Structure 1
Amino acid sequence: MTTIRGLRWWVVALISLGTIINYLSRNALGVLAPILKGEMGISTEQYSYIVGAFQIGYTIMQPVCGLIVDAIGLRLGFALFAALWSVAGCLQGGVTGWLSLAGARCLMGLTEAAAIPAGMKAVAEWFPDREKSIAVGFFNVGTSLGALIAPPLVAAVTLTSGWRAAFVVTGAIGFFLAALWYAFYRDPSEHALLSPGERDEILSGQTRPDGSAPKPSVRELLATRRFWAIAVPRFFAEPAWQTFSFWIPLYLATERHMDLKQIALFAWLPFLAADFGGVFGGFVAPFLMKTFGVTLVWSRIWGVVLGALMMIGPASIGLAASPYTAIALFSLGGFAHQTISVLVNTLSADLFDSREVGAVSGFAGMAAWTGGLGFSLLVGALADTLGYGPLFGLLGVFDLIGAAALILLIGGERHAARFAAA
């Protein structure tokens, strides 16, 4: 049978497509927030509850999704979740108030939570260690591409067919993804289009544990320092991405007095910058290894530190005199956050075996979304009285704390090797 050269890069393209569709459907809410607040009489605090409902569902299900895809396999697991989140996305088109919208968003969170654990598991299985950060960089581009596409697409559908149609259109695209994924995806050991040479290249480039060793329990995974070295930075980094995904359009409408057309013109720029940040994050680690001779794990860490320093820019948005300066600072934040995200996510594939990556990514994602949920509720409670500026200022502080925690938890070279003792 004919094989495809460089099949692993086609696989990462498919993963990226999945994250594009996943983030397109979830980001429709943020674009529509100013309209929904007006037409449905939703307050800022109630909007934070709607956002929080998605985050609660997502937070609860990330480790569950990771365990499910580890148990039943990526092919069936991710296709199933993609179909379910499509149903939830379409249901948003029929809501009658903020409570029903919150319910639909919670269902979407419960099902969309599979995207990152599934993507990380695929990278762990399909790529040699030296290429994993690059692969994660490209698949992580999908998260910001989906968010980038959302403002113009959702605005266009809304202006022609109404906001209910916008929810249905962005939700239904996931059915296509579910079918494509199930038809094409296989594990490397089973994929008929993978050449023997590329299969050997993948397997020989991966550090693997003793195959006779039993798979660790969830409790054992959560007890390791290396798990918390991933979970704590993600907890502090996620509030920034949740802010960009759900609060930028509302901020531009209320604080910068932009209408839907203006939001569609500018709200996608931070996510374009995030695309470049994701690619940069993938390549900065190999650059640091080659140029400065740092080890694999520490190349990820110093890249995270660089991203955290860049987050000082969006923390200064409250000082921006013009909306265009604010957009530029949001864009710097998108670049910085995705640099951090790529490198911290890659650590789960660096420090854990592919048998464990789905669960580890899921529980680390649970920690991340707990941070995002808490910050969204804080914004909802204080934005109308305190203003957005001081709240956005916290984002830079959070990432600096996360970078410091990463350095402390790695704790020296003895924790830099995969499968090192906690």
Structure 2
Amino acid sequence: MSQIEIKDPAASGMQQVTEKVSKYRWRILAMLFVATTINYVDRSIIGVLGPTLQNHVFHWTNTEYSNINFSFMIAYALGMLLMGGLVDRLGTKFGYAISIGIWSVFSLAHALVTKSMGWIGFAVARFGLGIGESGNFPSCIKTVAEWFPKKERAFATGIFNAGTNIGAILAPLIVPLVVMNDGTNWQFAFCVTFVFSAVWLVIWLTTYKKPEVHPKVSKAELDYILSDTVVENNQRLPWKRVFGLKETWAFAIAKTTDAVWWFYLFWGGFFLHAQFGLELKGLALPMMTIYLISDIGSIVGGWLSSKFIKMGWTINKSRKTTLLLCAILIMPVAFATQTDNQWVAVLLIGLAAGGHQAWSANIFTIVSDVFPKKATASVVGIGGMVGALASAGANLSLGRVLDSSGKSGYFFAFLIAGCLYLVALLAIHLIMPKMRARDENLRYVETN
């Protein structure tokens, strides 16, 4: 607990009242971080284990592996649209619970796939996983909007978003402990997170309430949370009402960069295997390095734009300046295929992945900067759908290019990965030059 000094206008002279300020919002953020970490362990296992399953167990072609990922991404796209609206309709408590329940069950389902089912069995399990996991980010962004003032939201988003990297770090650390290089015991890799998901779900359902009614939130903390926003009414705002707004599509364009992130996540291990001959246990340290750098990028990117705001910059200038720095930081990844040194390639990919996570923390925060809290999950869902569709198309194309052209296909993938962010930022600025906020009725908020 921290303390603030509040002057009592009814008291004589300069008498001051000291009131304790709770920090319960940070406990809520810790729960979002843990859930996002579990989410990304589940999501990343296929990227770590993929080369082993392809070469020693199922003998997939690159096209068949891309079909498996395509199934996940299409489900994720559909789920983003559905889950975003569901979370806004049911609220974060029950919407998030449904999401994590679905993804936990389908994560376990991977272990039931047999050789006779082939890639189709994995595609079905990945489809269910995609539906469930699609609810994570709409739920998290909505929760941050409910629990944090605007000046802290980018930093808070950067912290929970860092769970994506922790999950991606844990996956290559855990998988080699239970799976052999020849694929023995591969089923165990898909069972490790189920218990943690179940425990998290029980804690969430028994403890979560909105800050306005939470018994552990002091009045001073609630006042701080609402210090740069307003209390909204409880009238529902259908996602269809935000679908045609230009700000929704500015965010959607920003989310097309998800195709780059999923390229690292699902094909990074395959690239390192093809370029440098790394097997399962040899992939662990390089992939952990990439996502450790990503973790730093997520937190620093969120901190930086929040720092700019505290320095007196406008939200528009703070967010876009940070996005520009991210885009510049990412560009050198275009040269990842031009080196014979695996650690140079790893560091270039890590730098770009860190830039992406800093970018991601800020574009997610832009949603809560511009839209009322009741619409954030829906907007995140629409943008996430576009990002997932872009990722699905890119993934499907890459698998076919690699089967026809060999590893030279990675050159074009990394070239696009290095340039896409600057193009997206230009489009965002042209569509939304001033980043004007909208109220609970989606009217522009008047500014002085």
TM interval, shorter chain, is over 0.9
The corresponding residue for 1:20 is 37
The corresponding residue for 2:393 is 374
Q: Which amino acid aligns with 2:65?
A: Y
Q: Which moved more, 1:381-390 or 1:84-93?
A: 381-390
Report 1:99-118 matches (<5 A): 99-118=120-139
1:125 corresponds to which of 146, 166, 182: 146
The corresponding residue for 1:302 is 321
| 1:224–1:421 CA contact under 8 A, matched in 2 | no
Name the TM-score, length of structure 1 as normaliser: 0.94
- Give how far 1:421 is off: 4.4
How many aligned residue pairs are there?
Answer: 414
**2:158 pairs with 1:137:** yes
- Give how far 1:229 is off: 1.6
| 1:24–1:149 CA contact under 8 A, matched in 2 | yes
- Give how far 1:287 is off: 2.8
Report 1:46-85 matches (<5 A): 46-85=64-103
- Give how far 1:321 is off: 2.1
**2:348 pairs with 1:329:** yes
Report 1:175-324 matches (<5 A): 175-207=198-230, 211=233, 215-235=236-256, 237-291=257-311, 293-324=312-343
1 CA distance for matches of 2:91 and 2:394?
33
Q: Which amino acid aligns with 2:85?
A: L
Larger helix fraction of residues: 1
- Give how far 1:298 is off: 2.5
Gaps of 5+ in 2: 1-19
1 CA distance for matches of 2:195 and 2:82?
24
Q: Which moved more, 1:251-260 or 1:282-291?
A: 282-291
Q: Which amino acid aligns with 2:86?
A: I
1 CA distance for matches of 2:228 and 2:308?
19
Q: Which amino acid aligns with 2:52?
A: I
The corresponding residue for 2:187 is 164
Gaps of 5+ in 1: none
- Give how far 1:290 is off: 4.6
Give % identity: 30
Against the structure 1 CA distance between its residues 274 and 27, is the aligned structure 2 distance closer, same or farther, given a 3 Å change threshold? same
Q: In the TM superposition, what whole-angstrom CA distance separates every residue of 1:311-337 from its partner, at most 9, and x where no partner exists?
A: 112122111221111101111011100
Higher radius of gyration, 1 or 2: 2
Cα RMSD for the two superposed structures:
1.9
- Give how far 1:252 is off: 1.2
Report 1:340-359 matches (<5 A): 340-359=359-378
**2:41 pairs with 1:41:** no
The corresponding residue for 2:15 is none
SS of the residue 1:23 aligns to: helix
Against the structure 1 CA distance between its residues 287 and 196, is the aligned structure 2 distance closer, same or farther, given a 3 Å change threshold? closer
The corresponding residue for 2:425 is 403
